[in-house]
Amino acid sequence: MDLSFAQQVIYQEEYARAQVPGPLATGLGIAGPTVIKYGTPEQKERWLRPMLRGDKVWAQAFSEPEAGSDLPALRTTARREGGTDDGEYVVNGQKVWNTHADISDLLFTLVRTGSQESRQRGISYLIIDSRAPGVTIRPLRDLTGGADFTEIFFDDVRVPAADRIGAENEGWRLVRTSLGHERAAGAMNQAARYRRVLDELIALAHERGATADPLVRDRLAQFDVLVRIMRYTGMRTISDIIARGEPGPASSTARLYTATFEQELHEFAIDLLGDDGLLRGSDPGAVQKGRWVWGFLRTRASTIGTGTAEIQRNTIAE
Ligand SMILES: Cc1cc2nc3c(=O)[nH]c(=O)nc-3n(C[C@H](O)[C@H](O)[C@H](O)COP(=O)(O)OP(=O)(O)OC[C@H]3O[C@@H](n4cnc5c(N)ncnc54)[C@H](O)[C@@H]3O)c2cc1C
């Protein structure tokens, strides 16, 4: 929308306040900025508008069973047949933990085009049609009972070289842009959303008579302060993007902050519910359809996905 900084802040806050379910942000938040920065004019034309309109859903296929924190260890291979720009790649390997890949149209993937020992120097960034022959996508159930992420198998999948972003073996440069934006994505939206969630938690505490306890009031006041800090951290991240075109290390600060905050908030909510904190959505008597229990289980993954808390700390330290 080409909004100014102030307008972005207002937009995100109104959006969250109105309780509008967000778009599937993987394409818009991660792949989009990468295509804008490194794509050819033809690729931008072909991919960006359908992504923005929501006509095409994008999913991220980076992680592998033996390559998570250590992403340069990835083993999915892409063997080129024909020219660098007009040939085809034949892709073989496995990806895992790919959010919403089962409902995606396109996968943005990292593949090995160099030797196995080449690490960062032998990786290319390929866009693969999720329904191409040889692609198998299976949902994986997580501890909330939902199945938001998947595992993907590539068996001799043929991908046009024209669907590679950036030069062959130079995909690692693009990864920094993708991961930085992934960590920054929704920084403002998260702050606005947690403002609303905290207000709902305060209402719940009142309803259950818990606010008579000064320790409960104290915790709620602390969370209020933390949500305000989250808002400033989000602003700092967005202003970094505006100033430098890249989120920079502030994105790891924002991500780590939000991840630990949402775990603490949900742990507190479960304590507040007492025995009712054991009831899940489908159980009779579940409080607010089990949303706090679901949130508690869901946020266990917050310090793993988008890079683990340890990796964020390493990035900040470096
Ligand atoms: C909810 C969720 C959604 C996800 N969505 C996607 C997705 O859409 N696409 C995708 O490609 N991937 C996705 N992932 C995968 C995610 O990126 C990886 O799980 C994550 O990077 C960690 O990798 P790993 O699981 O292999 O753990 P490992 O890398 O094996 O880590 C195991 C443990 O060792 C620690 N560790 C590893 N290396 C270091 C180090 N150098 N210093 C300190 N500690 C270290 C880690 O912090 C962790 O505690 C998702 C994960 C989750 C939980």
Q: Which residue of 28, 63, 154, 297 sits with most ligand 1 atoms within 8 Å of its CB, as the best mutation to test the pocket?
A: 63
CA 290 to chain centre: 24
Q: With 70 as the cut, is the pLDDT of residue 76 above it?
A: yes
pLDDT at 185 over 70: no
pLDDT of residue 106: 98
CA distance 49 to 317: 37
Of 30, 308, 312, best ligand 1 pocket probe by most atoms within 8 Å of the beta carbon: 308
Q: How far is CA 252 from CA 24, 112, 194, 225, 297, in A?
A: 21, 26, 18, 20, 23
- pLDDT of the residue at 83: 95
pLDDT of residue 13: 79
Measured CA to CA, the distance from residue 247 to residue 177 in angstroms comes to: 8
So what's the pLDDT on residue 11?
82
pLDDT in tens, 209-236: 999 999 999 999 999 999 999 988 888 8
Residue 24 CB less than 6 A away from ligand 1:
no
Nearest CA to ligand 1 atom 53: 305
At 85 the pLDDT is 92
pLDDT at residue 82, rounded to an integer: 96
125-159 per-position pLDDT tens digit: 999 999 999 999 999 999 999 999 999 999 999 99
Average pLDDT on 75-87 reads 96
Q: From ligand 1's centre to the CA of 303, what distance in Å?
A: 9
Distance of CA 177 to the CA centre of its chain: 13
In the residue annotation, 182 being an active-site residue is answered as: yes
For tokens 């939000």, the residue is: 258
Are 126 and 83 within 8 A, CB to CB? no
Q: What is the mean pLDDT of residues 58-68?
A: 97
| pLDDT, tens digit (0-9, with 9 covering 90-100), for 103-113 | 999 999 999 99
Instruction: Count CB neighbours of 199 within 10 A.
Output: 13
The whole-number pLDDT of residue 251 equals: 83
- pLDDT: which is higher, 284 or 22: 284
Widest CA span in the chain: 73
Smallest CA separation from ligand 1 atom 4, residue: 305
For 258-292, what is each residue's pLDDT tens digit?
999 999 999 999 999 999 999 998 899 999 999 99
pLDDT at 7: 82
Question: Which residues sit opposite 125 in a β-bridge?
Answer: 110, 165
At residue 186 the predicted structure's pLDDT band, cuts being 50, 70 and 90, is confident
Q: Which pLDDT score, from 0 to 100, does residue 118 have?
A: 95
Average pLDDT, the chain: 92
8 compared with 128, residue with greater pLDDT: 128
Residue 156 or residue 27, greater confidence: 156
Cβ of residue 68 lying under 6 Å from some atom of ligand 1 = yes
C-alpha 221/C-alpha 209 separation (Å) is 16
Pocket lining: 149 vs ligand 1, CB cutoff 6 Å = yes
Query: Atom of ligand 1 at shortest distance to CA of 304?
Result: 53
Q: What's the CA gap between 300 and 207, in Å, rounded?
A: 27
Q: Specify the pLDDT at position 19.
A: 82
CA 311 / ligand 1 centre spacing (Å): 9
- Residue 26 CA, closest ligand 1 atom number: 8
Using CA of residue 225, residue 16, residue 4, residue 181, what is the dihedral sign?
positive
As a whole number of angstroms, the distance between CA 316 and CA 233 comes to: 14
Q: Which range, of 166-175, 238-247, 258-267, 300-309, averages the lowest pLDDT?
A: 238-247
User: What pLDDT is stored for residue 179 in this prediction?
Assistant: 82
Q: What is the per-residue pLDDT for 244?
A: 82
* 94 has a pLDDT exceeding 90: yes
Nearest protein CA to atom 27 of ligand 1, as residue: 68
Which of 184, 160, 36, 27 lies closest to 103, judged by CA?
A: 27
